[in-house]
Structure 1
Amino acid sequence: MSYKLSRRKFGQLALVGSVVSGLSCLTNKALAQTPSLKIIGISSGSMIGTDQTAIPEVNTTELESTTPNNVPTDIKPRGLILQSLITGKAQMLANKSVPLVESNETLSGFTCLSDGTLVVAITPVSTSRKEAIPTRITFLSSPVKTLIVSGLKQNQQLGSLLGTNDGRLIGLVGKKNGTPPIRLVDINVETGEMSFISKVKFPEDERISNLAECPDGKLYTSLVESDGDTILVQLDSNQKDPIRLGQLKVNGQAWNNGLQSLICSGTGQLLAFGAMRYQTPNTVYSVDKNSGNMTPLEDFDATQITLARG
């Protein structure tokens, strides 16, 4: 199978690998100088930090696809904005934009694999005939690799990606409007094929989002009740029903807006990312697993975050 790819698009895709390599280098260097955390945020928006005239438009060049799962890149994209934050310093180390998302798509998942590769899930938000590209996962490596996710129904989306400690990629599948039922899935990083993990059973009437794994192997997620209150939940493979740990709250006030991301540091500290309803920007919080109390660390203008690894 072959696709048309202009030199401009090829150059823009090549930029992704260099951007991510720079982020990895910067965060690793910073970590060597301070015990603070290294966090990477992602969002989509207008193109910034990219010279769109550097590679002139020319006749298209046909590139041979090495796998039938490759995705055509002749799309009208928005930018993926990658930023790096060192908590405790509030230092933006990089802010680059790379074009991979169409206007009718959303970033539904973001994580870092055990080898340091960033992975983003991109999901169509409409069901119109214009929806040419299905849900896919893109590995922001050099070179960039994109795989169509197989096994999803038209009204479903893949979100809350998690690169596990043992090298797997897992996620949560639910309806595109975020409503149940929610299923835990394993994703093949070579083919994009999805398989359901039956060991954990989620409530059929409550929203589940975000996945985090701590160094001890324990998995955590967040559950949003019908009134908007958000509950911290632990997943135990030996116990099908999720273990409710406590209601999330800030300064005694119940958290009322779900979370954008949930991650766990190398020391086992659980971190939540989001904002209370009608408030901006999103903030990184440390979370007490026993009480659900959230302590603000840093504001961070991003959509989702992950912990840099590798």
Structure 2
Amino acid sequence: MNYKLSRRHFGQFVLAGTVVSGLSYLTNKALAQTPSLNIVGIGSSPIVTTDKTVIPEVNTTELDSNAPNSLPTDIKPIGLILQSLTTGKAQVLTDKSTPLLEPNEILSGFTSLSDGTLVVAITPVTTSRRQAIPTRITFLGTPIKTLIVSGLKQNQQLGSLLGTNDGRLIGLVGKKNGTPPITLVDINLQTGEVSSISKIKFPNDERVINLAECPDGKLYTSLLEFNGNTTLVQLDSNQKKPIRLAQLNVDGKAWNNGLQSLVCSGTGQLLAFGAMRYETPNAVYSVDENSGNMTRLQDFDTIQITLARG
């Protein structure tokens, strides 16, 4: 159950993937003792065209027979944008003829695989009667590959992708509104099928967001309470429940808005990405896993981040 988007339509997309090779280094003094990091951000923006006759379309001869055979033509496409942390340069990953993201869809996950390939999860959130395109993952490599995700229930969504050190792709599955129950899953890189890989029981009164793996193989995520308080936890397959480490805070003030992303550097430094409630823009923070203290490193006006690898 997969389909590949037209290479002809996505020539710009393939070229845009090379932006990761020219990323600038994070040079903030707070990381003076840490090797340079390549951080990639992803966001979205409406595609603006002065040609009012242009409508989205797709080359249906290149679609798998089990996949949708057309894309909606009554809404404007949304462009995906990759950008580096410090240069501020951005490149839209789409063209006029084939939308990657629609107004009724969200970027529910973003990560990089061990070989450096960037992966995006796109989830429909439409409540209309019109049938939505199924949840899918897109590999921003050469060639571009898009897989329909199978194994999800109708009310579930895939999010918080993580490319593991050993080359797998895992993620978190929960309800479409982000609420429990939450399951840690493996995603087949060839078929897009998801399957449960852990018996860890997540709390039913907290949202589970983000996944990060450090070089030592330890997995981390964060738990979000109803009031916004966010707790850093470790996931251990030998434990039935997440291991609570510390409540996240900035200068002693509780972090109150969850995290957009959580990543781990090659030296084992956890980096959080997000913004306090009612504040903008998002920023990158280093995280002390013992105290939960977050140190602001640099603002970055994007939606989610990952580390460039490979």
* Aligned partner (choices 7, 14, 18) of residue 11 of structure 2: 14
Identity %: 68
- 1:63 is displaced (CA, Å) by 3.3
| Residues 1:276 and 2:276 aligned together | yes
Instruction: Please give the secondary structure, in 1, of the residue aligned with 2:101.
Output: strand
Which is richer in strand? 1
Instruction: Please give the secondary structure, in 1, of the residue aligned with 2:14.
Output: helix
- Give deviations 1:19-65, integer Å, cap 9, x for gaps: 012x23213x869xx942111111111237xx998xx99x9866345
- 1:201 is displaced (CA, Å) by 1.8
- Give deviations 1:180-202, integer Å, cap 9, x for gaps: 11110000010000101233221
- 1:131 is displaced (CA, Å) by 3.1
- Alignment partner, residue 208 of structure 1: 208
Choose 136-145 or 10-19, whichever is displaced more: 10-19
- Alignment partner, residue 159 of structure 1: 159
**Cα distance change of structure 1 residues 166 and 3 upon mapping to structure 2, 3 Å threshold:** closer
Q: What CA distance in whole angstroms lies between the structure 1 residues aligned with 2:59 and 2:224?
A: 48
- 1:2 is displaced (CA, Å) by 12
Q: What CA distance in whole angstroms lies between the structure 1 residues aligned with 2:3 and 2:117?
A: 25
Contact 1:3 1:62 in 2 (8 A): no
**Cα distance change of structure 1 residues 93 and 73 upon mapping to structure 2, 3 Å threshold:** farther
Q: What CA distance in whole angstroms lies between the structure 2 residues aligned with 1:60 and 1:148?
A: 16
- Alignment partner, residue 144 of structure 2: 144
- 1:69 is displaced (CA, Å) by 6.1
Which amino acid is the alignment partner of residue 242 of structure 1?
Answer: P
Note the 1:204-283 alignment, pairs <5 A: 204-283=204-283
Instruction: Please give the secondary structure, in 2, of the residue aligned with 1:170.
Output: strand
- 1:300 is displaced (CA, Å) by 0.5
Q: What CA distance in whole angstroms lies between the structure 1 residues aligned with 2:58 and 2:175?
A: 38
Choose 39-48 or 278-287, whichever is displaced more: 39-48
- Alignment partner, residue 40 of structure 2: 40
**Cα distance change of structure 1 residues 189 and 61 upon mapping to structure 2, 3 Å threshold:** closer
* Count of aligned residue pairs for this structure pair: 293
- Alignment partner, residue 108 of structure 1: 108
Contact 2:287 2:293 in 1 (8 A): yes
Which amino acid is the alignment partner of residue 149 of structure 1?
Answer: V
Contact 2:162 2:169 in 1 (8 A): yes
| Residues 1:91 and 2:87 aligned together | yes
* Structure 2 portions without partners, runs of 5+: 27-33
- 1:264 is displaced (CA, Å) by 0.4
Q: TM-score, normalised by structure 1?
A: 0.86
Which amino acid is the alignment partner of residue 195 of structure 1?
Answer: S
**Cα distance change of structure 1 residues 199 and 215 upon mapping to structure 2, 3 Å threshold:** same
- Give deviations 1:157-188, integer Å, cap 9, x for gaps: 10000000000000001111111111100000
Which amino acid is the alignment partner of residue 247 of structure 2?
Answer: Q
**Cα distance change of structure 1 residues 232 and 17 upon mapping to structure 2, 3 Å threshold:** same
- Alignment partner, residue 63 of structure 1: 61
**Cα distance change of structure 1 residues 64 and 47 upon mapping to structure 2, 3 Å threshold:** closer
Q: What CA distance in whole angstroms lies between the structure 2 residues aligned with 1:277 and 1:261?
A: 15
Q: What CA distance in whole angstroms lies between the structure 2 residues aligned with 1:4 and 1:118?
A: 16
RMSD after superposition: 2.8
* Structure 1 portions without partners, runs of 5+: none
